[in-house]
């Protein structure tokens, strides 16, 4: 049974039983405390916790999930996957234990011919919480399970909570017995791999507090509604129904594994270590494809860092299999073909997704080459120093800074006859993981903060009036200070204020929050920020500037009209620039991010190379022609399907509900789904002035523009500069570029002549300096300070010229100079001098230490520097003393 068919059977089953089928939420979680959607319940947290009234009493879904906390186990066990799909059915105060158990049993054991999954009841075991007599009895009575296949377990396995105050409840897990050839008898209580957990039914019915650990807390009472939260691992069901050994061999993953095996010349099943690597590649390529399809792009922080990490783990595994060249074009194409039936977007967006993947692979392959060079130097230095092990700190630096995998470091060190101080490396890695876990705990703690909005959200959604009104009369529904609900906030306090209606725009869709005030009887609040902390609720962060504000008081939200209009100009200009870019570059150049604030817009889009000045000018001209044409800006609210049918662009990585707002500028020329505020006609934008274009990552470009009055001011400033230049250079404006080029060429020619004169003057000093050679322990040494010099290269050239005049006797030259106000020492030695023990690198390092800096280099020529030029004589004396003492 194919994976897509299993998902279809699950959804059909629950749809026939009155469940609303909910599309998968994005892998990018709405909750800012989470990097990713890590479990099927994440999109439903506001409903399960009671913060937001659920829009349906029962639901079912197939949710895309990403987990990386067990990434080191991927490939080693049958069930650990980075990307996985969770089948779930949900009840929000509707049905409870009896129906949840009945539905699960009917679907699992129902004949395949009737739409069921066809499991043999004799292969299924169940666990319940040890004190949950109700669930125990229901399994016995509904499923007819013998009591010896219903096992009671403790809180560590059969009681669900977040580990924080809030909802909790007992759970019941369903296991599939793979048979005696897979392990010992005795059921799930043995914790043996023979028994595969396939479905977890959570009976969410209690509220807990005084939480000291995930399993140590106090139950304070029943939740307002008893909820059902279930999760069945689609990949686990698939590998059982397809008769394969693990999730990596299922129909959605195995094709990637097979391509990796072909590219590497390996045979899957022939070698354990190779098999692990092949499974890592299959998992990580699929996970990367799905993250890219939800708008995540490789970077050095946050979600982008996780994506980069798993992509690089795949590249590393290919390298360990012997493939040193690029392999992502073949691997990602295989994953696309395996996943497109379930997620059509991976095919329709593949050109863009694969561009990111290929660029990331090319970048990392270059990184591996650079890391290998650094590691080779470390190996040589370690051997020269008589060491037998590379330091753990150096291995960690290669891993953390350059992305160089530790196993490659171990492999290269072993080939060179060295070991790696693995204990020190592991200690540094542990420190890093501890910091990461602390950060994760801090983010996790933010989930609980949503509960403070529960009572306010229960009063209904905040009505946003700002599309039509800049001032709205309302009332204060709630006030929060330091994350706690309070009755009032007084002058000088920072607080969150929630109104029943507001004209103030909450930050979203790239548009920053409105500025403005909230006023009422005896108080005035300066609005610092406006956000949507939970679906349907708008919260204003304010500073109480006058009086005090209390819950229940009347209040009016007043938008800063000038700031709003400037922000609208910028947001509408972003739509024009987007359309202009697509007109110029083609439909594959699509938005990946934006920022709109008063007078400024920033637009990121998928493109692999820098824009030429001509292309930038064309984009700017198209956008300003649209401004000139005074195009009408219209907005319509409709269903998502209607908007897509009308050709509206659903921007990559954005999340949309079933009802959307479509914004047209000039009809279909610019037609996007957008919740932001806009001008009514394009001429109100005034002017679009592109001021910058840059790279923001592999295959991602950014254009920046000033808009409206800010654009005019910038052009006026440039006009003033041009006017000053024409006056100073006495050159007409249309000839300025030519005149400045002439002056620049003349200046370069003059600088070249000056450099030649200085070099000649420096060379003329060589004979006199060579005459100053004096014996230093059998070495003919010139150790002189030559004063100021144009560059370190000039001093180096002079030192080599002096060295060449010392003849065949052992000789060394140490010249001190001041270059750009900093001291420099150049040391050069001839071959007889080096044979006698005069090593330029060691001497330069010695001098640099006296100067308060660092240095070194080759044995024949080296350089040192520092910060204290007054110590140059002492540095040269130190070199002389070192040579004299070496021969005593």
Extract the annotated binding site.
571, 575, 674, 678
**Structure tokens that stand for 383 in this block:** 């051997």
Going by C-alpha positions, the residue among 163, 142, 148, 159 that lies closest to residue 201 is: 159
Binding site listing for Zn(2+): 571, 575, 674, 678
SS3 content of the chain, % helix, strand, coil (to 5): 45, 25, 30
DSSP string, 608-675: SSPPPHHHHHHHHHHHHHHHHTT-BEEEEEEEHHHHHHTT-B--TT----SEEEEEEETGGGEEEE--
Q: Which long-range contacts (CB under 8 A, 24 or more apart) does 468-471 make?
A: 469/503, 470/503, 470/558, 470/559, 470/561, 470/564, 471/503, 471/556, 471/557, 471/558, 471/559
- Number of Cβ within 10 Å of residue 766's Cβ equals 20
How far is Cα 853 from Cα 700, in angstroms, rounded to an integer? 40
How far is Cα 239 from Cα 249, in angstroms, rounded to an integer? 7
CA distances from 667 to 629, 632, 663, 716 (A): 13, 8, 9, 33
* C-alpha torsion 547→552→553→555, nearest 10: 110
**Structure tokens that stand for 166 in this block:** 């809030």
DSSP H/E element including 65: strand 58-66
Pairing of strands 484-486, 516-520: unpaired
How far is Cα 723 from Cα 719, in angstroms, rounded to an integer? 6
How far is Cα 481 from Cα 477, in angstroms, rounded to an integer? 14
- Number of Cβ within 10 Å of residue 269's Cβ equals 11
Task: Give 741's contacts (C-beta < 8 A, 6+ positions apart).
Answer: none
DSSP H/E element including 192: none
How far is Cα 318 from Cα 66, in angstroms, rounded to an integer? 22
């Amino acid at each position: 049974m194919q994976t897509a068919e299993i998902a279809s059977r699950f959804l059909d089953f629950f749809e026939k039983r009155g469940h609303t089928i909910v599309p998968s939420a994005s892998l990018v979680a709405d909750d800012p405390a989470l990097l990713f959607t890590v479990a099927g319940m994440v999109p439903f947290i506001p409903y399960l916790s009671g913060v937001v009234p659920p829009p349906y009493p029962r639901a079912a879904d197939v949710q895309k999930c990403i987990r990386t906390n067990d990434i080191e186990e991927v490939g080693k066990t049958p069930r650990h996957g980075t990307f996985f799909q969770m089948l779930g059915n949900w009840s929000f105060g509707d049905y409870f234990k009896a129906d949840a158990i009945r539905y699960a049993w009917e679907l699992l054991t129902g004949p395949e011919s009737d739409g069921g999954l066809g499991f043999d009841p004799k292969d299924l075991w169940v666990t319940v919480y040890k004190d949950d007599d109700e669930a125990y009895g229901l399994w016995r009575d509904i499923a007819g399970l013998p009591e010896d296949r219903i096992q009671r377990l403790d809180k560590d396995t059969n009681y669900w909570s977040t580990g924080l105050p809030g909802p909790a409840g007992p759970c019941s897990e369903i296991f599939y017995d793979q048979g005696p050839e897979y392990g010992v008898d005795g059921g799930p209580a043995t914790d043996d791999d023979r028994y595969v957990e396939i479905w977890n039914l959570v009976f969410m019915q209690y509220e807990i507090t005084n939480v000291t650990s995930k399993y140590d807390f106090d139950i304070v009472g029943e939740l307002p509604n008893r909820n059902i939260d279930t999760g069945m691992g689609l990949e686990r069901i698939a590998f059982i129904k397809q008769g394969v050994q693990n999730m990596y061999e299922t129909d959605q993953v195995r094709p990637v594994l097979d391509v990796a095996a072909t590219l590497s010349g390996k045979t899957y099943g022939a070698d354990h270590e190779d098999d692990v690597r092949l499974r890592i590649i299959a998992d990580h390529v699929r996970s990367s494809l799905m993250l890219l399809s939800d708008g995540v792009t490789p970077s050095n922080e946050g979600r982008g860092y996780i994506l980069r990490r798993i992509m690089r783990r795949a590249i590393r595994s290919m390298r360990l299999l012997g493939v040193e060249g690029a392999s992502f074009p073949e691997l990602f194409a295989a994953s696309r073909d395996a996943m497109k039936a379930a997620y059509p977007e991976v095919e329709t967006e593949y050109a863009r997704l694969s561009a990111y993947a290929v660029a990331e692979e090319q970048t990392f392959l270059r990184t591996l080459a650079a890391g290998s060079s650094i590691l080779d130097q470390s190996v040589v230095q370690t051997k020269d120093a008589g060491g037998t092990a590379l330091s753990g700190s150096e291995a960690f630096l290669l891993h953390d800074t350059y992305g160089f995998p530790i196993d490659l470091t171990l492999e290269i060190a072993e080939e060179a006859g060295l070991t790696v101080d693995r204990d020190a490396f592991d200690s540094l890695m542990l420190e890093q993981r501890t910091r990461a876990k602390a950060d994760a705990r801090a983010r996790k703690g933010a989930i609980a903060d949503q509960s403070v909005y529960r009572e306010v959200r229960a009063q209904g959604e905040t009505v946003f009036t700002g599309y039509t009104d800049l001032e709205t009369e309302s009332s204060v529904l709630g006030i929060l200070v330091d994350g706690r609900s309070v009755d009032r906030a007084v002058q000088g306090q920072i607080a969150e204020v929630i109104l029943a209606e507001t004209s103030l725009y909450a930050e979203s869709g790239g548009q920053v929050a409105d500025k403005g005030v909230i006023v009422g009887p005896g108080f005035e609040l300066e609005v610092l920020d406006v956000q949507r902390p939970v679906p349907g609720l708008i919260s204003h962060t304010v500073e109480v500037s006058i009086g005090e504000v209390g819950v229940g008081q009347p209040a009016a939200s007043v938008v800063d009209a000038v700031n709003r209009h400037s922000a609208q100009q910028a947001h509408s200009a972003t739509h024009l620039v987007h359309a202009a870019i697509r007109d110029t570059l083609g439909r594959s150049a699509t938005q990946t991010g934006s920022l709109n604030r008063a007078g400024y817009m920033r637009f990121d889009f998928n493109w692999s190379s820098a824009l030429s000045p001509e292309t930038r000018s064309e984009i700017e001209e198209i956008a300003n022609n649209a401004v000139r044409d005074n195009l009408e800006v219209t907005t319509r609210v409709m269903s998502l399907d209607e908007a897509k049918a009308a050709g509206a662009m659903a921007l990559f990585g954005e999340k949309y509900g079933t009802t959307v707002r479509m914004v047209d500028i000039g009809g279909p020329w610019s037609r996007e789904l957008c919740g932001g505020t806009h001008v009514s006609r394009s001429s109100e934008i005034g002017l679009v002035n592109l001021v910058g274009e840059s790279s923001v990552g592999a295959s991602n470009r950014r254009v920046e523009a000033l808009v409206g009055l800010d654009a005019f001011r910038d052009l006026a400033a440039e006009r003033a500069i041009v006017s000053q230049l024409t006056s100073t250079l006495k050159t007409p404006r249309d000839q300025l570029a030519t005149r400045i080029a002439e002056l620049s060429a003349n200046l370069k020619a003059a600088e070249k002549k000056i450099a030649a004169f200085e070099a000649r003057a420096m060379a003329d000093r060589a004979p006199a300096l060579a005459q100053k050679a004096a014996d230093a322990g059998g070495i003919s040494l010139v150790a002189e300070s030559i004063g100021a010099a144009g560059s370190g290269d000039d001093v180096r050239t002079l030192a080599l010229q002096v060295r060449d005049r010392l003849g065949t006797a052992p000789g060394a030259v140490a010249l001190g100079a001041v270059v750009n106000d900093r001291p420099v020492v150049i040391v050069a030695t001839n071959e007889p001098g080096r044979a006698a023990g005069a090593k330029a690198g060691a001497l330069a390092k010695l001098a640099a230490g006296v100067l308060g800096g660092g240095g070194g280099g080759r044995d024949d020529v080296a350089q040192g520097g520092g910060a204290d030029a007054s110590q140059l004589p002492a540095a040269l004396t130190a070199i002389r003393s070192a040579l004299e003492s070496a021969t005593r």
